[in-house]
Structures are given as C-alpha cells and as structure tokens.
Structure 1
C-alpha cells in the first residue's frame, strides 16, 4: 500500500499521464490509419469508377473478351494497380500481366459488384501472404452485367509506413511518460517538502521546543498552515511566560502573608501575653493576612474552573441596585480608613437583571477592591449605574495611577498584572470578564496613565412587568 503522500502523488500523476498518452496515441494512430488507407482506397475507387464508366460507355457493343483485350492494350505504363477483368462467375478473363485463370475470385468486393454494381474490399489479415485493397465495378451490356472490372493493390507498404509511424509515436509517448515521471518527482517534492518541514516543527513543539519556527515557502494553504503553526507557538510561549510569571507572583503573594502570620505567631508565643494591645494588633495582622490567603486560594479555584470551562452561573431575576447599595455600605468604611472618597450615582428605578447574585457580587467586589488598591489617599472613586435602552451600564471609576497604554490591551488576560507592584494574582479581571460574558454582557476598561481608570460593565436588562418587592429578590 502507498503510505506516503509523495508516493501517491507520483503514482497518480504517472497514471494520469499514461492514460492521456495512450488516448492520444490511439487517436493519432487511428487518424494515420484512416489517412493513409482511406486516401489509397479513395484513389483506387476513383480510378476504377472512371475506367469502368468509360468502357461501359464507349465499348458497349463489344464482348467481354474484346473489352478485356482493349482494356489490357490501353493500360497506362504508370499504372501501379493490378487490373483484372472477371467473368460473372468470378474467373479471371485477363489481368494487367496478360494472364487468365480459371481460379474463382470470391472476395467481398466481387460479390458486392455482382449484386449492386460496385464493391470494395480491404483485408485486415493477409490474403495469400499480403493484405490487399480492391475495388470491383460491373461492366454492363444493355443493362446486364457481363463481367467485372477489378482494381487491386497491395496494402503492405502502407501498413509498413503506419507501423513505423506508430513505433515512432510509441517511443515519443514513452519519452513523454518518462519526462512526466521526472516532473512528478519534482512536483511531489515541492508539495511534500514543506509538509515534512511542518511535521518536523510540530514534533519539536511536541517536545516542548516552542522557539522553533516553520518557514513559509509559498503563499498557499501549506504556507497558511505554517503561519498558523508559528502563531500557535507564539501564543503558547506567551501563555507559558504568563504562567511562569503567575507562579512567581503567586509564590511571592503567598510568602508575604505567611511570613507575617508566622512572625506574629512567634511573637505572640514568646511575648508577654498580658499585653492586650500587642495581642490585638498581632491578631488583626494575622486575620488580614489570612483574608489575603483566602482571596488567593479563591482566585486559584476560580481559575481552575475557568481553564476547564466549568464556571457555572445560576440565573435568577433580581434588582442589581440592591446589590450595589450593599457594596457601597461594605466599602464605605474602607474608604474612611484609607481616606478615599466613595461616591455613588444610582438611579431611583430598579435595575432588573437575570443573573447569578453571588457571581455578580464577586465581579463588583473585585472591581471596587482594585479601585481602592490603585487609588492613593485623598483620591476618589465613583460608582455609577444607568439604564440605556435594553442595557444596564455600571461604571467603577477612580482617579488613581491609571494604566499604561502598552498594558491596557492585555489587561483582563489571565496571569497579566502589568507593571504595577500592587499585590494580586493577575486573575481577577480575567475571571470577572468571563463571568460577565456568561451573563451575555461585556466588560471593558478605559484608562489614562496617571489620571485614572474606568471599568465599564454592560449587562442585558431583564424585562419584568411587576415591581420589585425587595432590593435583591423579585
């Protein structure tokens, strides 16, 4: 069996070329055969018809023997055909060599001439050692057939010419097939070569070498495959870099709270337990660092679900305004602690959404937490919500440090933290974006470096006819 593309291409191209050559050879040989034998038969037929017409017209009162002698005496010296005068029984009265014979001539042309006045015959197999062509015309006397005028010629020279031409054509056909075979080798190499190169690149990538690149030799499907393979390799390299950066960042983020917890734990163990203020301070630090650890673990759990495509939402209609008001109360104390002003601009009418309450709360907690994290003291944060047609638009804006333009396009991708030195896993925005998209919404970020950032969340409005009974549930 042919296992390789190259072998199949060579065989298929050669077979197609062979069929084409055989077809053309057959048509050519048939045309040569028709040209030579057909032309010879036409010439023989014309001469026999002309002679018989002449003799029937001007020798009408002559007997068959007299006509035979006259025909023999008036033959042209250049006549190459064998001319015979036959009796109605098919015996040779006289031929162009001056001989007569009692042997009966019963070829198809003779039988046809006796029946219809004219007949022709061309033997494919040799007759008496050679292939012949013959035309017989009836000699008439008062409308009755008194004999036959027969012209015949050997077709062997013509067949020799036809065979020689056929052999030459066969040699040319073999040369064409040989040339086609060599050409198929070149074509197969040019087609299979890039595929083999891509296969080698893919094997290298399978071993973990993503720095290898495929060469784009031609602007075709294989070239497009090479570009796609290179793009995939670049994306994998980016993903690997982000993953290593993430591991490094998470390791650092885990080490910092654990170091603090361990340090305060040791301090409390060896310290004076009667110092209530020191104990409370240590427990407060340990609680805060524990919360940071819990947040990192939750991000990792959400990330694993995010990677596996297993983030699920349980939708239920409720008033988003109630959720936002609860978050304002939750973050207001934090704003007072960090000396950051928190403003809100929420509409009086309900903001009906059909979504997962806990997941949407996770999103807005993350957005507000980021805003507080990147806003300096004496700064301000604004939480606004508006109804625009069939969409609910919630914006969390701050006047903090902002985001550089080079980082803005990648913000929201997994593991990416940008150039900020603030703590975090780099997963929060990516998870938030996924949750919003699962709600058929959109999350986008607008920022200007040193001037602040706005995170805009768009959610579809849920159409209800009744009023909300509570800020959370329908």
Structure 2
C-alpha cells in the first residue's frame, strides 16, 4: 500500500518518465553550459596571458635595443612589423627617463661585459614611467642587485622569483606573482654578452585589466546560462510531452484493455521507434481483440453444444422417472438415446481437451516412419461397418509401392478417421467415397484404371494452390454429398462451425473435427483444405466435397 507521500502529486511527477526526461535534458544542458563556460574562461585567460607575455617580450627587445645595445637577447625578434615602432614609441617615448644618447651607446657596442663603473652609471639613471604606462621593468645583475628599476615593487628579493631564476639559466620565462593582493605577470629575459648571461631584464604588468575582462565575461556567461536554462526547460518540456504522447496513448489503451475494452484506436503518426512500438502494440491489440471474440464465441458455442445433449439426457431421465421405465421398449430406446448423448459429450470433451493442448503448445508428436497406404487401409477397415450400415462404399486408389512419411501414427489416424467419418455422414446411400493417394514427387503414377479416379492433369490444376514446394504426398477424400456453400468454405475449419442443416448436430458431430484435423496437420508441417464442389463435378447430381491432405515426406525440414 502506498504511503501518503508516495500518493502526493509532486512525488508522482518526480517518479514519472516525463520528469526523468526533462531533468536529464536539463542536467545535460546545465553540465554542458558549465563546462563550456569554464573552458571559455580558461581559454580567454590563457589567451590574454599569452598576449600580455608576448607583449612584454616585445617590450624587452625594445628596451634592450634602446638602452643596452651592447647586450642582446638570445631569442628571435618578435615579428611585429610596423607595430614594433608603435610599441617603441609607447614604451620608450612615454618614459620620462634620462638615458645615454644613442651615439654614446653605439660607442660602447664593442665594450667588454659590464664593468662596475658602467653598472654604477646605469644605476644613477633616473627612470620614471608616465602615469599612462603600467608596465614596470627592472635590470638585475648576476648578484641579484637591482641595477635599474622603473618603480619600487614590494617583491624583494627579485632573484628569488622563479622567472628570474630560470632567466639566469638562459631561458625566457614568465610567472605570476602577487604584490599587495594584486596579481602581476612577470617576464624575465636573459641579457647576453659573448654568450654569457650578465643580467636579467624583468618586466611586470598588473593583471587587473585581464581580471576585469574575465569578470565581465564571467558575468555575461552567468547571465547567458541563466537565460538559456529556462528556455531549455521550456524546450525540454515540449520535447518530452511530444515524445511521450504515444506512450501515454499506449498507457491509456493498456488500461482500457485491462478493463476489458479492446476496440481502442491507436493512431500511428511517427516513423521512429515509438511509431514501431505503437504499430506493434496495435497489432497485439487486434490479436487480443480477435482472441477475446474467439474466446467469447467459444464459450458460447461450448455452452450451447453441451446444453443440447444435457437437455436431452435430462428430458429422457425425467421421462423414465415419470413411468416410461415400466415400458421395456420405451425404456430401452430412452437408454440408447442417453448412451448416445453421453458418447457425444465424451467425444466433445476429448476434442476440447485436444484443442486446449494445441492452443497451449502442448501437443507432443511421437514421430515414426509409416506407410500411408497401410494407414489408409486400416482406417477403411475400422469404418467399414458404419459404411455398410449407411449403404456407402469406400473406394481407394493407392500406389503399388510404399509411400513413407514421418508422422505421429495416432494423430494422423485421428485425422483420417475424422475426415472419412464426415464423408460417410454426408454421403447419400448407394454412393461411394473415393480416397486417392498420390506421391507428388514421382513422374509417373501407378496405373489404377477406375471410373471414379481423377485424371492427373485435372488434379494438378485443381489442387495446385494446395501443393507446396519440396517433397510431399497428397491424399484426396471425395464424397458425393450436398457439398458446402461457397460463402461457408472460409469458415469450415473454425471451431463449432457448421455449414448448413445437412451438416448439423443430427449427424452427432461436435463441430470440432475439422479444427482438430487442421491443428494436427499444422503440427506436422502439412496442410489441409476443403474444396466444394468437387473438381470433377459435371453439374449434375450433388456437387460433393473433397478434402485435400498434404504431407511432407521430408519432415521436419518441410
């Protein structure tokens, strides 16, 4: 029993398939947005840092060539073209510095590595950056002392900065350091003279502008995600509703079928997997509807069939109780009728049991190799007393050589007995029943000149629709009765179906014989068909009927 919480609408919605689809879509979109945002921020930060690093390296080239021409940087010059002059004007032209005249620097171009006097001279140069330029630079000698500094930076000792340490090893490196709670990017470039690192030029630039750009980008991304999530929610809700509409239709149909309502139309508007599911479900519904109709009809037919003999037995019993038992002749006649109706009930019960096993897939076949000729002769012998009583002759046209098939003896005997018994019941007196056995694999059939036999060409044409590819044999059972109306032929193998009054309960049948025969033939991989009128009917007399039985000789590979 569900708790009140489980019956709550919110709990029900959370457990629904729609909520799972909706939440899964939102989760995917949210995770994708977060990953994209972090990736974009990371790429932007990396791009800005790389751009600033390249700019600082370019400035290092400018400063080195302008202030220290006797030194050089062991790195390719930046490919900046005309922008080089702009950077030079921005970085150097805006510097309020006192520098050695270019002519004086050129005179020292061939000098030896920096002497103490030269370092002292450079140290005395006063350099002040203009208020519009935030880049700071320092010249650090091999001892770690600051030779030139454009500003006082609270980052002593400078030689301990990782970038400076790597630069003294001859590498141009960069690192991010924090000065007074503010991050700076430092680029250290080694200054070489005669392939020896004599100093390091350290340039630094605050990252507040990049941080501001990234903060603005972060705000925009949060705003974009905040707008995208509701829109994605609406889209996911609409998508889940459209996606689940066929499922809801199927669920409603299933609930209706559970309540016994099968005539529910299921529209199929899609060509995807859900459309295939709808078509399959609709096919199942039609099968269930047909099965339900057959079940209802079957129960009605069984009730009707059982009521007739039971009513007769009850009436006869009451008559005997009312005094008919005193008359020996009446008593014997009534008892014979009771016995006949009881036998009919037993046959019907056995037939119903057989059909139940067939429907449940429980018909077990005991296959063995048999000669159909002998099986037909045994059936004729068994029914000869009944044929003699009715004044009907059973003629058989059988090949001289054995016709071997792999079948269940008892089941095929049941089929042949039912077919011949029906033919006897519906054949007028002084008529004959013709049974023909033919091996369809043989080019020439054994001659058996009988006035009632079918010409081979007539059989081939008449029964061509019933024959199958592969090795098989055919049995034709032809009677000269009243035949079966054309409108009844498609239904003769249905349970409890009777074509007309002449094939009614007066003959003592249960209405299940042909249904059982078809089930047994299908289990053997064979085929049964009823033709009426008989193919050789010339238009005079009764049209008759012919039952065609097709047996595979290579069962089960039929």
Whole-angstrom distance in 2 between the partners of 1:80 and 1:47: 12
For the Cα contact (< 8 Å) 2:434–2:477, is it kept in 1?
yes
Which of 528, 532, 548 in structure 2 is aligned with 1:444?
528
Which residue of structure 2 lines up, in the alignment, with residue 168 of structure 1?
Answer: 220
Which of 469, 472, 493 in structure 2 is aligned with 1:412?
493
Q: 1:29 to 1:460 in 2, by over 3 A?
A: same
Q: Any idea what the Cα deviations from partners look like across 1:124-163, whole Å, max 9, x if unmatched? A: x522332112334455666665544433221211121122
Following superposition, the deviation at residue 38 of structure 1 comes to: 0.7
Which of 433, 452, 458 in structure 1 is aligned with 2:550?
458
Which of 410, 414, 436 in structure 2 is aligned with 1:362?
414
Counterparts of residues 219-258 of structure 1 (less than 5 Å)? 219-257=271-309
For the Cα contact (< 8 Å) 2:301–2:496, is it kept in 1?
no
Following superposition, the deviation at residue 388 of structure 1 comes to: 3.6
Whole-angstrom distance in 2 between the partners of 1:336 and 1:100: 132
Which of 412, 421, 434 in structure 1 is aligned with 2:519?
434
Which residue of structure 2 lines up, in the alignment, with residue 395 of structure 1?
Answer: 476
Corresponding position: 1:64 with 2:145: no
Q: Secondary structure in 1 aligned to 2:138?
A: strand
TM-score, length-normalised on structure 1?
A: 0.78
Whole-angstrom distance in 1 between the partners of 2:497 and 2:324: 39
Which of 21, 29, 40 in structure 1 is aligned with 2:41?
29
Which residue of structure 2 lines up, in the alignment, with residue 296 of structure 1?
Answer: 348
Q: Secondary structure in 1 aligned to 2:69?
A: helix
Following superposition, the deviation at residue 383 of structure 1 comes to: 1.1
Q: Any idea what the Cα deviations from partners look like across 1:301-326, whole Å, max 9, x if unmatched? A: 32333344443444555543233224
Counterparts of residues 125-274 of structure 1 (less than 5 Å)? 126-139=178-191, 147-257=199-309, 266=319, 269-270=323-324, 273=327
For the Cα contact (< 8 Å) 1:317–1:462, is it kept in 2?
no
TM-score, length-normalised on structure 2?
A: 0.68
Whole-angstrom distance in 1 between the partners of 2:283 and 2:155: 96
For the Cα contact (< 8 Å) 2:437–2:473, is it kept in 1?
yes
Q: Secondary structure in 1 aligned to 2:179?
A: coil
Following superposition, the deviation at residue 45 of structure 1 comes to: 0.4
Q: Secondary structure in 2 aligned to 1:218?
A: coil
For the Cα contact (< 8 Å) 2:44–2:214, is it kept in 1?
yes
Q: RMSD over aligned Cα, in angstroms?
A: 4.1
Runs of at least 5 residues in structure 1 that lack an aligned partner in the other structure: 464-474
Following superposition, the deviation at residue 420 of structure 1 comes to: 3.3
Whole-angstrom distance in 2 between the partners of 1:101 and 1:442: 102
Runs of at least 5 residues in structure 2 that lack an aligned partner in the other structure: 1-10, 71-105, 442-470, 535-542
Q: Secondary structure in 1 aligned to 2:511?
A: coil
Q: State the structure with bigger RCO (CA 8 A, min sep 6), 1 or 2.
A: 1
Q: Secondary structure in 2 aligned to 1:19?
A: helix
Which of 166, 175, 183 in structure 2 is aligned with 1:122?
175
Which of 47, 63, 68 in structure 1 is aligned with 2:59?
47
Whole-angstrom distance in 1 between the partners of 2:156 and 2:253: 86
